[in-house]
Structure 1
């Protein structure tokens, strides 16, 4: 199978007025192949260590979808658990980079979130969304489960909401449902309102002393100190399941199917 889409897309960082704007894009619904996951983790680490950065804004562009998570074309050729682990550990690296980053990470969610995209939003410190930013965890209907991203979603939304998303993998939950469950801090009726709120918050956070932000963030992420090991173990579970016969059958059927 052609894998031309895997190496497409980009992650770009610009810094203005103490705000690091990290933007990602992929032609397949802003999905996250392994190369983009690595770039995203590296960009977050770099911005987190930069003296001229006080706050990070994470966003995607162009598509109506904020992030469709895993790129199916990267999963389909996988034959071994090692192949699967190399991919799923990429999500773990991004989540842990966001967790360890001493700067607050604000995420702008302009559209739907699927699978790993939900995990990405849950790993941010503050999510500002627009109506239509519905959510879905589709992993179970592909033959594995949202193991690697699960701890981040459960931490942000609670076990009940995470269970609902994980078990009914075919059902979209509304953006308002996601706000009520704690995934989104704010939900706006249009892009202008969302952008105004993003500008207000990032400007405010850019005035806060970095040491104060770092201490507060450390306190807010209390209890996650073991996530390097935990998420690696979760990645191993996903890697084992994604190469099983049932997952292979599901993925074969989905070769030409878009999940959003």
Structure 2
């Protein structure tokens, strides 16, 4: 199947779905389309609430596309690639609609950042999480503000340092990344639909004001995440990272 990002609308809920055949990894074109789709949904009059989801059964998002990361040749390209994640997170942050995350399976690196940047996240018991970046020679610099804000600096640090471990859904729920966890994807979808449609019936002005409250004190993230993208863009050019990433080609 080919990669895609789609927006479908039902009962005033905008369902944004992304997919990539390589475990929902995120190359630049998917990140760009996802950013624009979030903006479009935020501006759509018929959309009151947004659900962010991915295609497939057992992987929500595998993070950055290693094939594209390997091909980065200079700092300009490096910053541009990692700015893709920064742009998605900032689009989610600035979107006037509440965003519900639907995490059906494992999520790694940038995928954890996407889950953390939702306003409310539901998952299945298969949705373990991992911040693997340090093990390949970079770090979760771009997504760190969103992850730390959701689960706390100490939990983020624990995951970053223990970079080769998948942390369980129990850990993610206990730290506040997931609001609730379900046994099956079917149960998850029922809960997501119920919550989203309930929220879509609420006063839209109140939802907009609540979104502002949730994201208070993040006004500097346009600059902050761009600076973090520059750090990752430099580190990805290191000999250590290049040699490590060759194993994943």
> TM-score range with shorter-chain normalisation?
over 0.9
Q: For 1:54 and 1:38, how far apart are their aligned partners in 2?
A: 23
Q: 1:105·1:126 contact (CA, 8 Å) conserved in 2? A: yes
Given candidates 124, 128, 132, the residue that maps to 1:134 is 128
Q: 2:112·2:130 contact (CA, 8 Å) conserved in 1? A: yes
How far did 1:16 drift?
1.1
Q: Which runs of 4+ in 1 moved over 4 A?
A: none
Q: For 1:63 and 1:204, how far apart are their aligned partners in 2?
A: 25
Q: Which residue of 2 aligns with 1:37?
A: 31
Q: Which residue of 1 aligns with 2:70?
A: 76
- TM-score (structure 1 length as normaliser): 0.94
Q: Which residue of 1 aligns with 2:198?
A: 204
- Note if 1:251 corresponds to 2:245: yes
Q: 2:131·2:159 contact (CA, 8 Å) conserved in 1? A: yes
How far did 1:197 drift?
1.1
Q: Which residue of 1 aligns with 2:80?
A: 86
- TM-score (structure 2 length as normaliser): 0.98
Listed as ranges, the matches of 1:46-65 within 5 Å are 46-65=40-59
Q: For 2:222 and 2:189, how far apart are their aligned partners in 1?
A: 34
How far did 1:63 drift?
4.2
Deviations 1:92-129 (A, max 9, x none): 00000000001000011100000000000000001010
User: Number of residue pairs matched?
Assistant: 249
- Tell me the SS of whatever aligns to 1:128: strand
Report the aligned-residue RMSD. 1.1
Unaligned runs of 5+ residues in structure 1 are 256-260
Q: 1:30·1:63 contact (CA, 8 Å) conserved in 2? A: no
Q: Which residue of 2 aligns with 1:221?
A: 215
Q: 1:14·1:20 contact (CA, 8 Å) conserved in 2? A: yes
Unaligned runs of 5+ residues in structure 2 are none
- Tell me the SS of whatever aligns to 1:108: strand
Q: For 1:151 and 1:235, how far apart are their aligned partners in 2?
A: 12
Deviations 1:129-183 (A, max 9, x none): 0001000011111110000011000000000110011111101100111000000
How far did 1:205 drift?
0.7
